[in-house]
Amino acid sequence: MISLISGADNAAAALNAQRVRMDVVSQNIANAQVSKGVDGQPYRRQQVVFENVLQDQVQLAGDALGGRPQMIRIARIEEDKQPPRILHIPNHPHADKDGNVAMPNVNIHEEMVDLMVASRGFEANLASIKTARNMALQTLQIGKR
């Protein structure tokens, strides 16, 4: 028998993961022009790394489907390894002797796409929770008849 609760748990874990992803993307966008941080270096883009987690406690539900259910979670948030962008801005306060400034390795267009993807993933998981809830309510209504 398929468990609606484990499905909702998986969707809730995915909601949390997408929320953190949206937070990280928002932080990247907010710091896209920070040429010198606390460490004296330009801001480095952050990215979320996800991982799948097998759920042994719901093995019976997974075996009915031909495998164990999986849940997504955040493995870590890491810095992007791309070098900073070098721009020629002679009047910038952080410009070197040649007028070049090291700027963050953040591409606003890529960040906006990441934000839209995370938002759509959040919406899809929210819809699946609502559907599971409606199915459970309809199941209870069958029992009343």
pTM: 0.78
- Altogether, the residues listed in the chain come to a count of 145
- 99-112 pLDDT, tens digit each: 999 999 999 999 99
Are 95 and 89 spatial neighbours (Cβ–Cβ below 8 Å)? yes
**Residue 48 pLDDT greater than 90, yes or no:** yes
Q: Please indicate whether residue 72 or residue 121 has the higher confidence score (pLDDT).
A: 121
Residue 111's pLDDT is 96
Q: Which of 59, 25, 65, 21 is nearest to 45 (CA)?
A: 25
Tokens describing residue 27: 């932080």
Please tell me the predicted confidence (pLDDT) of residue 1: 42
Cα separations in angstroms, 123 against 11, 25, 105, 131: 10, 17, 29, 12
Nearest to 49 by CA among 33, 23, 32, 73: 73
